[in-house]
Structure 1
Amino acid sequence: MANNSSLVGGESLLRQINYQVIIVQILVISFLCVNLLLVVTFFRKECFYTTARYILFAVTLMSDSLILLVSDILLILSYFRFTMQLGMCTVLCFTVYLYFIVTPLTLTAMTLERYVAICMPLRHAELCSTRSTMHCILIIHGLSSVPSIVVLSILFASVSLSSYKQLTVCSIEVLLVHKWQDYLRSALNQFYFLMMCIIIVFSYVKIMKVAKAASGEDKKSTWKGLKTVILHGFQLLLSLIQLWSPFIESTILRIDVVLFVQIRYFNYLMFSLAPRCLNPLIYGLRDEKFFLELKRCLFWPV
């Protein structure tokens, strides 16, 4: 009788996981389609790809799309227990980890762009030129690669070359050969996100001061910029919570496997997918100029 109950419970859990995987696929495909539409819209008008905030917006779209695509592939491979060589797994995990940092750093740069536009309008054209924005994107990718390089350097120093041909179910945990690596990775992430949060708060306070002193159209524009900063802050908060998810999940795994599956599913939806669906909302739909071009792209694609 106990065996039958266990079997029924196992089948119920498997069916639930199947439903969850299907829901994730629907969400990921939907977000990728929306992001693709927004990227196409971005390249339709010259004013978009020559303006700092739209260029940075396009970077977040492409970064989010890449993360969604690669992480979803890893999710499916892991779910069906497909294996791959450690070398290939290393490349995929490096890509996910790199762009996991790129998105919030780009959001921080977008916040600084709004700060310069509102608090230093006379210097905005100089500081936020297309050339400066491209340099900023290179800096963002350079800074984002540091945690990944640290993790990979320790891996390269700890395992032999023959190990990269071994087959494994790919996940970031495979690359953490020492227990302290996870703490080091977490410390680096926390440092990055602390710096980003400080910049967000600094920009918010400065824009708030300008908003209180502004009047008429300037006041309306300033408050809109302030709302954008708040939304960026909310996105960073969700991303910050995501860093704590592995600690929560590992604790729950020791207590209840079924609860662990539920919590991990919730964390993926809430703290991985949700921040990336907010981005099109903030800039793709709230920005009047971009929204008008988006409607033209939808109804008059030629």
Structure 2
Amino acid sequence: MKKIDEYVDYVYNNVDGSKEEIQELKMEMKTHLQELVLELKSEGVEEEKAILMAIERFGDENEIRSIVGLLSKKHKLFAKWLLYVSLIFLTIAPIVFATLQSKEAQSLSEKSFASTKIHSILDNRDIVSDDIKKEIASVVHGTNYISDVLIYDVSNITNEELFEYVGNKEADYQYGITRQMVGELLPSGSGNDNWYVITERNSYHTLSVLSLLLLGFLYWSLFSIWAMINAYHERRLNLKWSFVFVLFNVAGYLVFRHISNKEDSWEGI
């Protein structure tokens, strides 16, 4: 059935893809056409006419070729975008992490500065006067990450009683401002014989770690899917390779490529 071979060869001429994949698709199309020819012949149609009718029923050569080429391009485009998006996640993951960690470092620095400054303002004072309150407010407003300050008079409290006292008693003075918070609110305290100061700041540590894990997971997942799609198009995907891609990612794909290239070179001999 030379006409069927010519028809199928024409349809798949210049279609992108692995040789094995294209060969398998061509065989499937030929088998389908041959079955159609046999069916027509069983109805009493002569072979030559049956072949022409089978091809005619299957579709115009140029139309089928266009559809096959379009599907091939769409599959390749999808796989390419999958790879690009995974690499974008891989690229921005350390950038987001570093940015948030930088904010965390600034927040810690401001907490240390504010705590030290407030202790110096309260030094040897018996009460939180109006002037002291104004100074404390000025310190808080001069920061970007401190949102709340709580001050406790602990002049008559022992070290053993300190944390229970602070945990159960209302602050002798509190000053806070509303900030647009992205991270979490994290309190930390420090004190001396007279005063105990708690500063609440925006912390970005947890957010930075979660962002890194999420973006890393998205990269890992998309790259693994991309590797599986490539292996599938080469008719080499199986459960073993799926596990290799998921567990070892790029390293696993490089091993797959190395073994595949070796197998192809042996087949070419």
Normalising by structure 2, we get a TM-score of 0.33
Normalized per residue, the structure richer in helix is: 1
Structure of greater Rg:
2
